[in-house]
Amino acid sequence: MSLFDSMVKYGMPLIPKPIVGRVARRYVAGETMDDAVRTLRTINDEGAMGTVDVLGEEVKERGKAAAAVEQYLALLERIQSEGLDANVSIKPTMLGLKIDEALCAANVETIVADAARRGTFVRIDMEDHTCTDATLRLYRRLVRDIGHVGVVLQAYLHRTVDDINALLPLGPNIRLCKGIYREPRTIAWQAYETVRANFIYANDKLLEGGAYVGIATHDSHLVWAAMATIDRLGLEPGEYEFQMLYGVDEELRRIILDRGHRLRVYVPFGRDWYPYSLRRLRENPTVAHHVSRAMLGLRPR
Ligand X SMILES: Cc1cc2nc3c(=O)[nH]c(=O)nc-3n(C[C@H](O)[C@H](O)[C@H](O)COP(=O)(O)OP(=O)(O)OC[C@H]3O[C@@H](n4cnc5c(N)ncnc54)[C@H](O)[C@@H]3O)c2cc1C
264 is catalytic: no
By C-alpha distance, which of 166, 106, 161, 97 is closest to 134? 97
Is 258 noted as a catalytic residue in this protein?
no
Task: State the nearest-atom distance from the C-beta of 171 to ligand X, in Å.
Answer: 20
Residue 97 or 126: which CB sits closer to ligand X?
126
**Is 126 near ligand X (CB under 6 A)?**
yes
Task: Give dist(CA 102, CA 117) in Å, integer.
Answer: 22
Q: For Cα atoms 139, 142, 143, give the angle at the middle one, nearest 5 degrees.
A: 85
Q: Which of 280, 288, 290, 291 binds ligand X (CB under 6 A)?
A: 280
Contact yes or no for 50/84 (Cβ under 8 A) = yes
Query: Least separation, in Å, of the C-beta of 288 and ligand X?
Result: 12
Q: Is 285 in the site for ligand X (CB under 6 A)?
A: yes
Phi, psi (rounded to 5 degrees) for 247: 95, 0
Q: Which region, judged by CB under 6 A, interacts with ligand X, from 67-75, 134-142, 171-179, 288-296?
A: 171-179
As measured in angstroms, the least distance from the Cβ of 286 to ligand X is 7
Binding mask 178-217 for ligand X (x = CB under 6 A): xxxx----------------------------------xx
Contact call for residue 266 and ligand X (CB under 6 A): yes
Q: Between 31 and 283, whose beta carbon lies closer to ligand X?
A: 283
Catalytic residue among 22, 175, 264, 280: 175
Dihedral over Cα of 237, 242, 243, 246: its sign? negative
Shortest distance (Å) from residue 62 CB to ligand X: 24
| Residues in Cβ contact with 282 at an 8 Å cutoff, skipping those fewer than 6 apart | 9, 12
Helix (H, G, I), strand (E, B) or coil at 26: helix
Q: Output the smallest distance, CB 54 to ligand X, in A.
A: 14
Cα-to-chain-centroid distance, residue 85: 17
In the region spanning residues 133 to 152, those forming contacts with ligand X, defined by CB under 6 A, are 152
Told to check if 129 binds ligand X by CB under 6 A, we report no
Give the Cα separation of 173 and 175 in Å (integer): 7
Tell me which residues in 22-51 interact with ligand X (CB under 6 A).
none
Residue of the chain from 116, 134, 248, 257 that contacts ligand X (CB under 6 A): 248
- For the four alpha carbons of 21, 263, 47 and 88, in that order, the dihedral sign comes to negative
Alpha helix ranges (H) inside the chain = 3-10, 17-24, 33-45, 62-81, 101-117, 132-145, 160-167, 192-208, 220-233, 250-258, 274-283, 287-295
Is 249 a binder of ligand X (CB under 6 A)? yes
Spot the catalytic one: 53, 114, 125, 163.
125
Cα 42 to the chain's mean position, in Å? 19
| Distance, CA of 268 to CA of 135 (rounded, Å) | 20
Q: How far is the CB of 20 from ligand X (least distance, A)?
A: 13
x/- contact string, 228-247, with ligand X (CB under 6 A)? ---------------xxx--
Query: Which residue of 20, 22, 284, 294 would you call a contact of ligand X, by CB under 6 A?
Result: 284
How far apart, in whole angstroms, are the C-alpha atoms of residue 242 and residue 59?
30
Which chain residues interact with ligand X by CB under 6 A?
Answer: 125-126, 152, 154, 175, 177-181, 216-219, 243-245, 248-249, 266, 280, 283-285
Active-site annotation, residues: 125, 175
